[in-house]
């Protein structure tokens, strides 16, 4: 088989990150998330372009999951990433990330799940090191209020 010089795997990865962007754009509309929809977004905390409170980075040095459901503020969506304010322990914290930092996106209300391979270049778009998105295990819904960090360590296969 010939080498894929078109890099369809990168095109697919970029297109699926566009699904995340479109979902966030809908959530950022004045009416907010429609119906029971809500998002679990897992991201690499040390990826280039991530802006995260130092206390959260210390607690989650590699990866963390945020929940966008009822309690989120100032959601701004751009072509390259998004920013949002969430409360952690009752204290508002600003988070900014490029789509390239997102490793998983899940809307449990409809069972929709995307998993992304990390970009080897760390840029905001797809890179030569990206692989196509593939299905993965769904993270379990978090107990407690929206806006809490969900630790995935207990759900990882050992």
35-56 residue pLDDT tens? 999 999 999 999 999 999 999 9
Beta-sheet pairing, 102-107 with 91-98: unpaired
Average of per-residue pLDDT across 23-30: 96
> Residue 99 belongs to what H/E stretch?
none
User: What Å distances lie between residue 121 and 24, 53, 127, CA to CA?
Assistant: 24, 24, 6
Query: Cβ(48)–Cβ(98) under 8 Å?
Result: yes
Token output for 68: 């966008």
CA atoms within 13 A on the CB side of 74: 10
Percent of the chain with pLDDT over 90: 68
Q: How far is 102 from 111, CA to CA, in rounded Å?
A: 18
CA dihedral 119, 74, 61, 130 (to 10 degrees): -10
pLDDT of residue 112: 97
Q: Residue 76: pLDDT above 70?
A: yes
pTM of the model: 0.74
Nearest Cα residue to 124 out of 94, 72, 79: 79
Nearest Cα residue to 104 out of 75, 80, 140, 147: 140
Q: Which domains does the chain possess?
A: 8-28+37-152 (2.30.30.220)
Decide which of 150 and 82 is more confident: 82
């Amino acid at each position: 088989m010939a080498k894929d010089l078109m890099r369809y795997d990168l095109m697919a990865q970029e297109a699926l990150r566009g699904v995340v962007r479109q979902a966030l754009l809908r959530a950022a509309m004045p009416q907010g998330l429609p119906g029971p929809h809500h998002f679990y977004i897992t991201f690499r905390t040390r990826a280039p372009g991530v802006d995260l409170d130092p206390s959260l980075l210390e607690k989650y040095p590699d990866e963390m999951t945020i929940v966008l459901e009822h309690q989120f503020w100032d959601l701004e969506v751009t072509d390259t990433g998004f920013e949002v304010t969430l409360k952690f322990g009752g204290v508002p914290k600003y988070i900014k990330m490029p789509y390239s930092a997102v490793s998983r996106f899940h809307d449990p209300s409809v069972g929709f799940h995307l998993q992304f391979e990390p970009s080897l270049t760390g840029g905001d778009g797809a890179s030569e090191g990206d692989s196509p998105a593939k299905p993965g295990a769904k993270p379990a819904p978090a107990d407690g209020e929206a806006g809490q960090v969900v630790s995935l360590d207990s759900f990882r296969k050992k």
